[in-house]
Structure 1
Amino acid sequence: MFDLARERDSDWWEVEALYDLCFAPGREALSSYRLRDGVPPVADLSLVARDGEGILAGAIRFWPVLVGGRRALLLGPVAVHPTRQGEGLGALLIRDGLARAAALGWERVMLVGDAPYYARFGFHRLDNVEMPPPTNPDRVLGHDLTPGAWAGVTGRVERVT
């Protein structure tokens, strides 16, 4: 059993250490990080999952971006501690985060990831959305929090200023 809570300022270093553990060195060189530079994550959607002992088991963050001038959320990173993988925690974080985003009035979410994994959450390829290079276009995925939210949305993904 996990307790999901909003990430607090005091969680920041612990969450960053989890991301460093779970992702390859140089993760911050990815193009998605250029969209996050100088932009705080959406506080109500940045979640931590702790086990019954209070140990950090997973974390997820969402960031505001613009796609063709329209508001969207960029999901990621999401990470689960290696000792807790395979317990469904990643899915719990994603589903809970998407539900919270919808409740807050967000219409669309995007990410860069593996389509076969994220399809189970309703993500699909965004053919007319361009992430900053170098990003494989096959990995640019979107999810409609409201029906048809991605219909007609095209263009570059840009950092919110």
Structure 2
Amino acid sequence: MQEMAEDAWQVEALYDLCFAPGRKALSSYRLRDDVPPVPAFCSVVKDDDGIVGGAIRCWPIRIEDHDALLLGPVAVHPTRQGEGLGGLMIRDVLARAEAAGWPRVLLVGDAPYYERFGFKRLNGVVMPPPTNPARVLGFGPWAGVRGRVRKRLDALPD
């Protein structure tokens, strides 16, 4: 289900639980500073009591003249891991993004995990330092797209 404003505190608590304390110091967060996520691609999975067990967010970015979504963070509560929630959320976001006219999705992550969803290592797409280039992965049509990844501050396409 789409993340709602009242879910934000649970989502942030989940990210704090699942990631290292310095997660906001990562270079991918520089692309999120002062930029709201794209609400249509921010989802949560809740149990019957309304507790968030998984969350995914996407942010608008630009590489030269090409628009894309920055996928992440993706998190699943440790008590819910192994249920396939992460894969479910990733596949859902990729399908909805493509249908909405966002065919390119980028993330920084482990290729062996994300390859199963169609992500491939991107050559020539440069994240802010200090990002390991081997962890810059893309989904969708990336042929000919090269350059620095920048945050997108202008209005989003419909």
TM exceeding 0.5: yes
Match of 1:138? Answer: 134
2:116, 2:13 → 1: CA distance? 28
The residue correspondences of 1:5-154 to structure 2 (distance < 5 A) are: 5-144=1-140, 149-154=141-146
Q: Residue 157 in 1 paired to residue 153 in 2?
A: no
Partner SS for 1:24:
coil
2:4 maps to a residue whose letter is R
1:132, 1:23 → 2: CA distance? 20
1:76, distance to aligned residue in structure 2 (A): 0.2
**Residue deviations 1:26-74, cap 9 Å, x none?**
1000000000001000000000101233221100000000012310000
1:107, distance to aligned residue in structure 2 (A): 1.6
Task: Normalising by structure 1, report the TM-score.
Answer: 0.93
RMSD value, Cα: 0.7
1:124, distance to aligned residue in structure 2 (A): 0.2
2:151, 2:82 → 1: CA distance? 33
Moved over 4 A (4+): none
2:121 maps to a residue whose letter is R
1:105, 1:69 → 2: CA distance? 15
Across the two proteins, how many residue pairs are aligned to each other? 153
1:46, 1:13 → 2: CA distance? 14
2:150 maps to a residue whose letter is E
Task: Normalising by structure 2, report the TM-score.
Answer: 0.95
Match of 2:156? Answer: none
2:65, 2:25 → 1: CA distance? 24
Structure 2 segments unaligned to the other structure (5+ residues): 154-158
